[in-house]
Structures are given as structure tokens and as C-alpha cells.
Amino acid sequence: MTKIAVLGNGRVGGNLAAALARAGHDVTVADRTPGTAADAARTARIVINATPGAGSLDRLAALREELRDTILVDVSNATTDGPDGLPADLLYPGSSLAEQLQEALPETRVVKTLNTMLFPVMTSPGTLSQAPTAFLSGEDPQAKQTVRELLTDLGWHKEWITDLGGIRTARATEAAILFVPHVIRSTGFTPFAVSLAR
């Protein structure tokens, strides 16, 4: 059992928190109010950023002390929204939210994952007709191993998890969000994920 704080109580955060609690972890969910987030982060070993990506950097940079020596699992994508509310453009072109978070939080081990799929797939990867891929980006091998184990608790088979390397590789997975609005407009809001076919 691991003490986990989920920052963000929307569809993504709520879904992850419920699944991790079912897997036996001690989970606290914090809303967007600074005090609640600080309290949750202060006592957690793993913090999951499920806040809207456009505001994540400011929110988490304010928690620098609370996030010291923790693993920050970043599942958000930082984009501007189009007229229909779907992602339009990357907020950090030439970089990534994960890189910005790691720079702002040097004593926190940031790991990017689960950001290349619609949220239901994060906790039910086996429901898709073919195996999805969960990518890992981060500088700390031990932190990535911990996150890998967390993913297996969520139903991810080991062979479905691909470690891309350092935090800079999150640029590639965050750019995949640009597929999402086109796929949704084409096929509707049906669960899907980016997958490596081998």
C-alpha cells in the first residue's frame, strides 16, 4: 500500500483515485484549492497531477516544498482549447509540461505517463480491442520503476509499458494530444489510446 495524493477531482483524477483505492492504496483526492492540495501533497509518497494542464505549472510550482522528495506522476496535457472545447494547440511548443514541471520542481522526481489516451483507458487498458501502450518519460530510473508498478496495479501488462527515456521525451507523447480532437470528431467519444504495433 502506497500513500498517494491525486491533485484534481475531475473525470481523470476521480477515475484514477477510485481505481488506485480499489487496488489497495491509501488515496487522498485534492481539489483545486491551494490549502487542500498542499495538505494532500505533504503526506504522500506519490502525487498524481490530474489538474487541467493549462494551469498545472502555476499550481504545482506553488507546492515546491510539499512536493520535495516525492514522485510526481504527470498525466496532464497543456493545450489551448478550440471553439468546441477540444485541444487546439500545445501550450509549450518546443518543450513540454513535464519538462516545465521538472525545471520548476528540481527536488521532485517527475514521471510523465498515461497522457496518450482517453481517460477511461488509464484504468481499464484491457477493455480495448488491441493492447494500448503506456509511455514513461523521466530522469529518475527508480521513480519510473515505481510508476511502472503503479501501472500494473491499474491493469497494465508489463509488455504494454514503454520507457522512452528522459523527461525531454515527454515532448513526443504530449504532442500526441493533437490527434485527439480529430479522432473524437471523426469517431465520437469512444475510448482509444496511442499504441505501438510490433
Quick: pLDDT tens for 65-117. 999 999 999 999 999 999 998 999 999 999 999 999 999 999 999 999 999 99
pLDDT of residue 1: 84
Residue 34 has pLDDT above 80, yes or no: no
pLDDT of residue 6: 98
pLDDT of residue 18: 97
Tell me the percentage of the chain whose pLDDT exceeds 70. 99
The amino acid at 149: E
pLDDT of residue 35: 80
Q: Cα–Cα distance between 113 and 158 in angstroms, integer? A: 14
Our CA angle for 152, 168, 195, nearest 5°, is 45
Single pTM value for the model: 0.96
| Cβ density class 127-166: b for 16+ within 10 Å, e for less | ebeebbbbbbbbebeebbebbbebbeebbbeeebbebbee
3-state DSSP of the chain: CCEEEEECCCHHHHHHHHHHHHCCCEEEEECCCHHHHHHHHHCCCEEEECCCHHHHHHHHHCCCCCCCCCEEEECCCCEEECCCCCEEEECCCCCCHHHHHHHHCCCCEEEECCCCECHHHHHCHHHCCCCCCEEEEECCHHHHHHHHHHHHHCCCCHHHEEEEECHHHHHHHHHHHHHHHHHHHHHCCCCCECCCCC
